[in-house]
Amino acid sequence: MYEGAVQDLIDELGRLPGVGPKGAQRIAFHLLQADPQDVERLSDVLLAVKEKVRYCERCFNVAESQLCRVCADQRRDQSAICVVEEPKDVVAIERTREFRGTYHVLGGAISPIDGIGPGDLRFTELMTRLASGEVTEVIIATDPNLEGEATAAYLSRFLKGMDLKVTRLASGLPVGGDLEYADEVTLGRAFEGRTLVHV
C-alpha cells in the first residue's frame, strides 16, 4: 500500500477495464515521473471527453454535437441503415470504406444471462427512424457470436412485414487462413452464405 494520492490513483486506474493491480501501479508511477504538461494534457482530455461527448440524437453513435459526423454528412445515403451493437463497430465498418449509408447503434446485444433483453436496447428508436419511410434497406451487423445472432434473429423478426430489404453481414472464412483449420460453425455459415459464381 502506498500513501494518499499515489494509492488513490492506483485504485482509480485499477477500476478501468483490462487494468489489473500491477498495471495500475505501473501507469501510476509512469504518470508520477512524466512531465507535468503531459499529465495536464491527459487530465484535460479526460475532462473534455466527459463534458463534450454525448450520443448522436439520431443513431446513438458518439458525437460532439446533436448529430454525429456520419448523420451530419449530407452526402451519406439516408436510405440504408446499418445496425450495429456498439459505437466502436461503426469505426470498424467505416474503415472498410464500403458502406456509404448511416448507422444505428443498439447499445449492446440481447443477452438474457446478463439481464439484457430487447427492452434495454434501442429497437424502439430504430422503429421511429424507419417510420419516416425514407429507409429502404436495413443491414444487420451485430457481432458474429451467439448473442449477436440472437439479436439479429429478433431484429429480423421485428422488421418482418415492413416494406424493407433486410440483410445480414455474411460470416464465414477469414481471409488469409487455411480451410482445414476452420471450425464447423464458421465453415457451416460459409456454406450457407456461399455466393453464385456462375450457373
Partner 1 sequence: MPTYRDEAIVLRTQKLGESDRIITLLTRRLGKVRAVGRGVRKTKSKFGARLEPAMVIDVQCYEGRSLDTVTQTESIDPLGDRLARGIETWTAASVMLETCDRLTEEREPALQQFLLLRGALTSLAGAVHDPNLVLDAYLLRAMAIAGYAPSFHDCAKCGAPGPHLAFNVVGGGSVCPLCRPPGSAAPARETLGLLSALLTGDWVIADASDPRHRREGAGLVAAFLQWHLERGLRSLRMVER
Binding site for partner 1 (CB under 8 A): 18, 110-115, 117-118, 144-147, 149-150, 153-154, 157, 174, 176-177, 181, 183-186, 188
Q: Which is nearer to partner 1, 27 or 39 (CB)?
A: 27
Q: Which is nearer to partner 1, 112 or 161 (CB)?
A: 112
Q: Which is nearer to partner 1, 1 or 113 (CB)?
A: 113
In the chain, which ranges are continuous DSSP H helix? Answer: 4-14, 21-33, 36-52, 69-72, 87-96, 123-130, 146-159, 184-192
Rounded to the nearest whole angstrom, what is the least distance from the CB of residue 81 to partner 1 in the complex?
21
Dist CA 133 CA 79 (whole Å): 9
- CA 46 vs CA 37, 43, 124, 193: distances in Å: 14, 5, 32, 44
Rounded to the nearest whole angstrom, what is the least distance from the CB of residue 99 to partner 1 in the complex?
18
Give the residue from 191, 196, 148, 149 showing the smallest Cα distance to 173.
191
Q: Which is nearer to partner 1, 31 or 169 (CB)?
A: 169
Q: What's the grid cell of residue 137? A: 434497406
| Residue count of the chain | 199
Rounded to the nearest whole angstrom, what is the least distance from the CB of residue 84 to partner 1 in the complex?
15
Rounded to the nearest whole angstrom, what is the least distance from the CB of residue 138 to partner 1 in the complex?
17
